[in-house]
Structure 1
Amino acid sequence: MSVKPRLQIVVLVLLVLAAIALVWSGASLWSRRQAAQQLAEEAELLVRQHSLLIDSELARFRLMPIVLGEYGDLVDVLSTRNAQTAARLSDKFGSLVRETGASYIYLINRNGVAVAASNASDDSSFVGQDFGFRPYFSGAMRDGKAEYYGAGLLTRQAGLFLARRVGQNDAASGVVVVKYEFGALSSIWAGDPGRTLIVDANGIILAAPDKDQILTTLAPLPTAVRQRIDAISQYGDAKLEPGNYRFAGPDHIETAEGADMVYAALPIAGTDLRILHLLNTRQARIAADRRATFATLAILPLLLLAGFAVWWQANRTARRAAERRSLEAAVAERTAQLREEMGYRAIADQRYREAREELAQANRLASVGSITAGLMHEINQPVATIRTLSENALHHLAASRSERVRDSLGTMIAMTERIGTLTQEMRGFARKGEGQIGEEPLDEMIAGAMLLMEDRIRRAGIRLTLPPGGQPTVLGKRVPLEQVVVNLLQNAMDALEGHPDPEIAITVEREEGMICLTVADNGPGIDPQLGKQVFEPFVTGKPNGLGLGLGIAQDIMKDLGGSLTITASALGGAAFTVTMRAA
């Protein structure tokens, strides 16, 4: 072989190798970009899903200080300082911690000292500890409520502190605190791909799958920030030094082992905390390079064929033209196949995103339904009454009975005022003391409750027995008393659902200066396993109940100087007796 043909072969081989390297580099770059985009989208979907879960959890635990603030035992413990009462309250706190998943519940007096706690029986009990310097205590005493995140003084565990003042500002007697730690959520998220972190505004990690990284930082803290944190002992004696996770760019975090992780972040509603979900890019890069290699190997025969065509072109022009057409046809066919495969992948990815979004939407709707159920429970009947009166007004208007139209419209106005009063009363559950207790005719109070419920009871086919007119006058507030009776009637109707011969009876008796109104039914009665626990928050015998209605009704009667108790039913089912002071 002459020197010139040998040189041509060497040049041709070098060109083919350069083309292979170029193709692999381009395919690898494109494949890595696609993998990074897909990884970022997956992290975004997971962080949104986790954000919905933590928002739902915090919304549930934010209700607890509000409900606990209405416990009469809290005021008793803060005012009497009785050790036995405090011990019973601590036991109740411990039971609530086990039932709800809260980390700790404790009560602090106005001097900042804990007087009852869910861990009162532990060696690390909060009882007797001074929490007066903690910002959540001073914030709740000043503003009525406060939220604060940091590490516990005794437990050294990071979490969110939800505090609520007991009593009004001018007569505040203490603060009830619910602490929620994120360990349970970290356990739930452990099964998902990647890692989930919760960090504060300074990049301090409050929750992580590897517990030794909690209270480490994603970046060194500035001196001023560290001094401010130490001044309020927000994280106790934690070192707050950079740990295994460190910021490596706007959307990347690097681990101490050198792993590169892409992350997506969302704020946690109502706080300045953020939730981050991290996905390791190593497997994605390996898969991208593997795809680039496969693509290069797939194109390699074409490159060799092109080289052979160039070699053949140097010898025969005609054959070169034929080989070129064949090569172009093969390239076009392969390109069409690749585009078809990419289309299938895009469709599958779109279906995956749509399914995840439907799941997220269902979770949001469930959360919204649980929040609005209580309000709809209270105003549904006045709205139905307004509709009925509107229809009657149309009939009277068509018959030119203007007086009856006026009466219907007046009643509708009263019902709208009643709706406003009811919604105001719902807000009033968390802050008592509005309005004045006065003399209220019991006949008018019963009539008001019947205005809301009688039509619904009649349509349900329930036989209703009411007390005769001329009932005595009681001391109380009309709207709360009506609300208690309506609540008892609704519970009785729920219990009688499906009963072949449903019956409800309202009776009134006088006992030693007190007036006793009893609502009884002939339903299945109260589950013996529940007993008096039906008055406690979140305890209910209904499949879809919130477990707040009877507890709120009992608190209303305590505020009015009366009581709500379970009594024997003359009809054989359940009975509740409302005891009021006689005027």
Structure 2
Amino acid sequence: MVKRSRRFVAFFLAALALVLALAFVAADRWSRITARDNAELAAQSVARANQGLLVSELQKFRLLPLVLAEFPDVAEVLADANPEATAHLNAQLELLAGRTDAAVIYLIGRDGVTRAASNWRLRTSFVGQNYGFRPYFRGAMRDGASELFALGTVSGRPGLYLARRIDQNGRALGTIVVKVEFDRLEKAWGVDGGIGLVTDPHGVVLVTSRPAWRFKTTEPLSRRALEDAVRTLQFGPSPPARAPLSLSGSEASVGAGRRQEPYVAGTLPAPIDDGRLTALVPLQPFLEDARRVALLWGLAILLVAGAIVAVLLRQWDRQRMLLQSRAALSLEVERQTAELRDTNARLLVESQEREEATNKYVAAREDLARANRLGTLGQITAGVAHEINQPVAAIRTFAENSTKLITRSRPEDAQLNLGRIIALTERIASITSELRSFTRRKTPVPVQATLGSIVDGALLLLGAKASSQIEIAVSRADREHVLVGDRVRLEQVLINLLRNALDAVGKRPGAIQLTASAQGDRMTIRIVDRGPGIDPAIRERLFTPFETAKSGGLGLGLAIARDIAREFDGDLWLDPMEGPGAAFIVSLRIAR
């Protein structure tokens, strides 16, 4: 079995080597195709951008001859060589050339001699020069308008000549010529390392970001085109030579001999002499990018192949080890299964014990809260007895009066007293019912009481005398909010806080204030007293059980009150305040 695995691995390695060789060839071909496609897209994009710049530049200057033809001084200078008109026109052309960035603007008479020019101040001024042999002059005099890209015979600088004929009364007087140079445009074309150029229909380079290529050809000139170029001096005294550029569709190469570099060409129509605008983008950067991508893919494939080989090499070893480990694994599984059964049994016992402990803790906490309520009842017993004694005494008085009223034949008044007795017995019943509910141990039922009923129940247990010391500031709308929690336990929270406040303020009336406000799904109850405040020594341990500053106190009231509030998704805390007194805040959730 091991020998068979080794033969399979050897066969796989041989097949992998063949696949890698084929993948290398395919990756190289993919890199070249992808690089050329990306370069062609880039070349076309650059060509469109260059075309837009050229069109924008020419649109501005092609309007100038039309405008200048309407100047009154132009016809006057051509019709009559008036020195004053000529001087004024020279100044106008000079100002206009400076503002429009035109290389030169000049006026040629019908005899071919320049009458006025924007460069009249310079040593190379066109004034007095004869340009009758230039094709743009002849074309404009014949057809009304003409354009020619040529080398300047005086300045020696290339540019596009835009000529327009000046007529008066049906008679041709001469031409106005605007020369445009493309230095800034050529620099913009060569910013990113590419090459931009415009060629005429014969393949002569007119505008280019490579100045050395200007007036050179991308293809051989015909004899007639060569004779015309020499005769008109369009490209200078020397005939155009070949540029170090080879173009064939979108493929191009720059340089000569072994130093040729591959480029990709994007070609569009050029608005100069029916020429073509070409953008050349070097192919090498795109080829390098494509090869990097192919290399990354190749490395990823090699990593995957290496991982597969490693897996196969280890597979035969694992098969050997697998047989040896199965027996040991079976024994280990049996041993661990037995341990798991024992552990599961122990966990079951511990879970039951924890559940019993939790139930005991809950019962103990409820017993402790009930003991706290009973202790609180011990403190308010006197007030409750006073609350019951007063109705009992009144009942006796009303009963005695009713007896006398009946003997005196006054049944209506006796019936009125009996109604009062019924009302007083209902008050006694409400007090005793509240006491029974407060002391009874029962399962809490959430969402069963409004804020108003909780506050009223707490005040009823505290008694009228104690209630007279408490100022209640709760709006009617807030009283109607139903709170999440058991009514009796929430009453216990308020009674504990109010009882502490009563102990702090003594018998001063109005020294305690209870306010409440609803904010979203929370009801915030604030109890403020004007007593001596909380001793800083126990402020940090205020809610710790059995911590108290009152003599004879157990220190359970605040701890139990906060536990009850938190049990119903609320909280209780001490609100820091300036001056004497203390403020406690209870936050409870409003039922929705």
Scaled by the length of structure 2, what TM-score is found?
A: 0.49
Say which one has the larger Rg: 2
Scaled by the length of structure 1, what TM-score is found?
A: 0.50
